Amino acid sequence: MSRKILLSRGIRGVAVLVAGAVLASCKIPSFGAFHGNTVQGNSTYHLWQGFFIASIFVGGITFLLLGYALIRFRRHGDAIPKQVHGNTKLEVFYTVIPVLIVAVLFVFTVRVENKVDAVSRNPNLRVDVTAFQWGWKFYYPSYRVATITQGVDAYPTLELPVGETATFQLVSNDVVHGFYLPQFDFSRYALPGVTNYFDFTPQHTASFVGRCSQLCGLYHAEMLFYVHVVTPAQFASWIDTHQKAR
């Protein structure tokens, strides 16, 4: 086979890989993930980036080796090629390297999980979240203020001050629900009889939509809620307005 034909096939192979990445909407450097609008979510986002870059590296090396084998050891005739029964150094190499990659990824994963799961002893704010069929209740015990679903089409608002740490207590009144905030890179089960705790430290003022991520019954799709990350002054004004409205 001529070099010209091999080069043509190589170019077509690269074109297929690039087209696959484009058609899959692979955005660089986010790789399709949200940046995470909290300190905790930002750590998750960087972990995702690390995993994706590692997979590109491993995949690239794998395809290069496959390409080399296909070209270097392609059939030249009917003669039986030289038989090789093993290569100890090579076998040790391709066993140790994957183990090291997995070990490094494991260490980073544990560090990020510990950061995401850590709960502050002295948070700036506490929020009790109650999931139920089919809605949410957000209660601020320090201020005795609550926002709650009023019917399946009236969604509650979770108001958070930017730059301040809020500790959440998450429970369910009935079945399994999922407290899911895509832009925070966060999801946590709301389980009957189980109380989950976690922190959010928002980084930027913005508005988002959260939802239930577990199929929980007839109006599961209507289990939405709004999240407003505002300045501390705006948050204080919001609390004052709701206290006066009681």
Reported as half-sphere exposure (CB side, CA atoms, 13 A), residue 178 has a value of 14
Half-sphere exposure of 133 (CA within 13 A, CB side): 9
Residue 2 has pLDDT above 70, yes or no: no
Q: Please name each of the domains of the chain with its CATH number.
A: 3-117 (1.10.287), 125-244 (2.60.40.420)
CA-CA distance, 116 to 97, in Å (whole number)? Answer: 29
Q: What is the pLDDT of residue 91?
A: 86
Whether the pLDDT of residue 27 is over 60: the answer is no
pTM: 0.76
| Cα gap 40→112, rounded to integer Å | 8
pLDDT tens-place string over residues 81-105: 777 777 888 888 889 998 999 999 9
Give residue 194's pLDDT.
95
